[in-house]
Amino acid sequence: MRDYNYKEKWQKLLIPDIVQKLTLINEFKGEQRLFIEAHKDELNELVEIAKIQSTEASNRIEGIFTADDRLKNLVQEKTTPRNRDESEIAGYRDVLNIIHESYEYIPINANYFLQLHRDLYKFIGDVDGGVFKTGDNIIRERDEKGNEKIRFKPVPAWETPESLDALCVAYKEAKNEADPLILMSMFILDFLCIYPFNDGNGRMSRLLTLLLLYQSDYIVGKYISIEKIIEESKETYYEVLQDSSINWHENENDYKPFVNYMLGVIVNAYKEFESRVELVTNPNLSKSDRIREIIKNHIGTITKSELLEMNPDISDTTVQRTLAELLKNNEIKKIGGGRYTKYTWNVED
């Protein structure tokens, strides 16, 4: 069976690029604590936005969708699921809330993972939530021509309970010695290589990422959606996952690509937190000014619905009026039309 001894492995990952990211994250962490103490009320908005974005992004990675208004009402528990996709979304919402509210009291062990998986599928009758996989699963991928190939063979079903137990024991044994961010990333990579469930492994891995971050006092994911950042870079996510799983069964895999990627995600989350907090807490910015600054500092395109989602205190009318004014002044560009309309800052001006 695989050797999960992190005590001997984590220090090999202390390469310059990773150390630089760790230093940056810990600087951001200290600054975030000061922000939170000074602006607790204003930050409640960010928590609600992050819940919606996290639930949407993590499910969308797996091809699970619903309309924007339905998603918001589901996350805020203002409606009940109408179909299978919405049932999966509601289950994710509930597990996300459990982690947000009770992360300090959730032990890192297989039994609790089974309970979280059970709750992930509690609105679906034909999926066995809360049980390990009943058959061997194979991770496949298709190329651009539609040809299918095997990307990875996870741990066989009969070995899964013992493997997950060994993984959790190794995590606990290394917790007081290893850097928590490196350890968390290694743990998630190994969890995905075990692939312990028939379904829901990807979403469980992202929920467990938040759990491990919170337990190590990195709570940026409460205010900024980690899942959304992963979704926006999912091609890279799958690439580094594959790179770090090569020779995994032989205990010769290289954790560096996946660890480096995950640390980059966390750095991005802290940077976004910093910029969003400045906008939310700046008393000199009007609501229109806030919309302008968000578009100006946003990389790539942004939609009106995303602006409304990021600013629940700003009305649809105000956002629409601000966009029209920015277009009139040639400060932003409009791309597409109708429901597919997007906006981007006019860098030429």
Residues 245 and 311 in one domain: no
Residues 58 and 148 in one domain: yes
338 assigned ligand-binding residue: no
Asked if the structure places residue 341 within a domain, the reply is yes
Residues 212 and 302 in one domain: no
Please give the mean pLDDT across all residues of the chain: 92
202 assigned ligand-binding residue: yes
Degrees (nearest 5) of the Cα angle 58, 34, 314?
55
Asked if the structure places residue 10 within a domain, the reply is yes
Q: Is the pLDDT of residue 349 over 50?
A: no
Asked if the structure places residue 134 within a domain, the reply is yes
84 assigned ligand-binding residue: no
The domain of 124 spans 6-280
Of the candidates 315, 290, 307, the one whose C-alpha atom is nearest the C-alpha of residue 343 is 307
Whichever domain contains 297, its CATH number is 1.10.10.10
Asked if the structure places residue 255 within a domain, the reply is yes
Boundary-marking domain end, from 280, 311, 326: 280
Asked if the structure places residue 1 within a domain, the reply is no
pLDDT per residue over 143-181, tens digit each? 677 777 788 999 999 999 999 999 999 999 999 999 999
Of the candidates 85, 67, 75, 77, the one whose C-alpha atom is nearest the C-alpha of residue 121 is 85
Boundary-marking domain end, from 280, 301, 336: 280
State the total domains in the chain.
Answer: 2
pLDDT of residue 140: 84
253 assigned ligand-binding residue: no
Q: How many CA atoms lie within 13 A of 133 on its CB side?
A: 22
pLDDT per residue over 82-117, tens digit each? 999 999 999 999 999 999 999 999 999 999 999 999
203 assigned ligand-binding residue: yes
Cα gap 135→14, rounded to integer Å: 37
Highest mean pLDDT among 58-67, 125-134, 143-152, 310-319: 58-67
Residues 309 and 210 in one domain: no
184 assigned ligand-binding residue: no
Residues 294 and 146 in one domain: no
Q: Is the pLDDT of residue 50 over 50?
A: yes
Q: Is the pLDDT of residue 327 over 90?
A: yes
289 assigned ligand-binding residue: no
201 assigned ligand-binding residue: yes
pLDDT of residue 224: 94
Residues 196 and 71 in one domain: yes
What mean pLDDT do residues 199-208 have? 97
109 assigned ligand-binding residue: no
Residues 306 and 255 in one domain: no
Boundary-marking domain end, from 280, 306, 337: 280
Of the candidates 212, 155, 203, 211, the one whose C-alpha atom is nearest the C-alpha of residue 178 is 212
Which residues are bridge partners to 133 per DSSP? none
Residues 95 and 216 in one domain: yes
pLDDT of residue 126: 79
Tokens 């528990």: give the residue.
77
Q: Is the pLDDT of residue 207 over 90?
A: yes
Residues 256 and 319 in one domain: no
268 assigned ligand-binding residue: no
190 assigned ligand-binding residue: no
Residues 157 and 251 in one domain: yes
Q: Is the pLDDT of residue 302 over 60?
A: yes
pLDDT of residue 34: 85
Whichever domain contains 230, its CATH number is 1.10.3290.10
